Amino acid sequence: MIEKYQNIDKEYYSYIKDLVNNRLVLQMNEFIQHGNTSCLKHSLAVSYISYRVAKKLNLDYKAVARAGLLHDFFLYDWHLAPKQRKLLAKHGFTHPQRALENALKYFELTSKEKDIILKHMWPLTLRTIPRYKESFLVCFIDKYISSTETIKYHLMLKKS
């Protein structure tokens, strides 16, 4: 999976190489994110598409590539997490903070990368309005990728 990006786009891979060679980032492959897509595969897709769009828009594509990969670095199966009664305690609201905390434990991040990770669930998390164009970009690409993964999975279920 990771080799695909290494062979397709060497510049992109050079920005994420330290991340994708980290055992905890690779552990993201053990958790399902949307449908039957692993958290790592989802995050790689968000990272790479965001990187390509950011390059075309002349934005900080290195920050987008790195933070896009770490935006869901929460390291647990959210489907199995205890059900929360309070709306703001649910996974959709809390995982950006968890992902940022985990990322800060293992990697050096720029302020832009931190903002991208923390605010990728906007507008669900209304109080965390993105500060940078790059944060909005990853936020929207994440919504697009998540939607396509979920729809694709449900269409597959419907066929079988």
Please compute the mean of the pLDDT values over residues 36-55 and round it to a whole number: 94
Q: What is the pLDDT of residue 124?
A: 73
Q: How many domains does the chain have?
A: 1
Give the integer Cα–Cα distance in Å for 112 and 90.
25
Judge whether residue 160 has pLDDT over 70: no
Give the helix/strand (H/E) hosting 38: strand 37-38
The pLDDT tens digits of the residues spanning 106-117 come to 999 999 999 999
Give the integer Cα–Cα distance in Å for 50 and 138.
6
Q: For residue 3, what pLDDT band results from cuts at 50, 70 and 90?
A: low
What residues make up the domain containing 43? 2-159
Please compute the mean of the pLDDT values over residues 19-40 and round it to a whole number: 88
Please compute the mean of the pLDDT values over residues 86-94 and round it to a whole number: 59
Please compute the mean of the pLDDT values over residues 13-20 and round it to a whole number: 95
Please compute the mean of the pLDDT values over residues 6-10 and round it to a whole number: 76
Structure tokens at 14: 């050079």
pTM score over 0.75 = yes
With left for phi above 0 and alpha for psi between -120 and 50, is residue 80 left, alpha or beta? alpha
Q: Which residue has the higher pLDDT, 133 or 153?
A: 133
The pLDDT tens digits of the residues spanning 123-135 come to 877 677 899 999 9
As a whole number, the mean pLDDT across the chain is: 85
Please compute the mean of the pLDDT values over residues 91-102 and round it to a whole number: 81
What CATH number is given to the structural domain containing 113?
1.10.3210.10
Q: What is the pLDDT of residue 123?
A: 80
**Class of residue 9 by CB neighbours under 10 A (exposed 0-12, middle 13-18, buried 19+):** middle
